[in-house]
Amino acid sequence: MSHAAITLRPALARDSHAIALMSRDHIEHGLAWKYDAPRIQRALARRDVALLVACDRGSLVGFAMMEFGDERAHLALMAVRPTHRRRGIGRHLLEWHLDTALTAGIESVHLELRAANDAARRFYRALGFGETILVPRYYGGAEAALRMVRVLRPPLGARPAWQPPAHWR
Q: Which residues are catalytic?
A: 112, 124
137 near ligand COA (CB under 6 A): no
φ, ψ (nearest 5 deg) of residue 117 = -85, 80
* Residue (2 or 158) nearer to ligand COA, CB: 2
Q: Which of 15, 18, 87, 101 binds ligand COA (CB under 6 A)?
A: 87
Stated as kind and residue range, the H or E segment containing 47 is: none
72 near ligand COA (CB under 6 A): no
Contacts 24+ apart (CB under 8 A), 120-126: 121/146, 121/148, 123/90, 124/148, 126/91
Number of amino acids touching ligand COA (CB under 6 A) = 20
Find the shortest distance in angstroms from Cβ 88 to ligand COA: 5
Q: Which of 6, 11, 40, 90 binds ligand COA (CB under 6 A)?
A: 90
**Residues whose CB is less than 8 angstroms from the CB of residue 49 and which lie 6 or more positions away in sequence, other chains included:** 43, 65, 66, 67, 68, 76
89 near ligand COA (CB under 6 A): yes
Q: What residues are paired with 51 via a beta bridge?
A: 65
* Residue (88 or 136) nearer to ligand COA, CB: 88
* Residue (83 or 163) nearer to ligand COA, CB: 83
Restricted to residues 91-120, the positions that interact with ligand COA (CB under 6 A) are 91, 113, 117, 119-120
* Residue (44 or 94) nearer to ligand COA, CB: 94
Distances (CA, A) of 26 to 31, 98, 117, 163: 11, 22, 11, 54
150 near ligand COA (CB under 6 A): no
- Could you tell me the end-to-end alpha-carbon distance of the chain, in angstroms, rounded to an integer? 65
Residue 109 to residue 67: CA distance in whole angstroms:
10
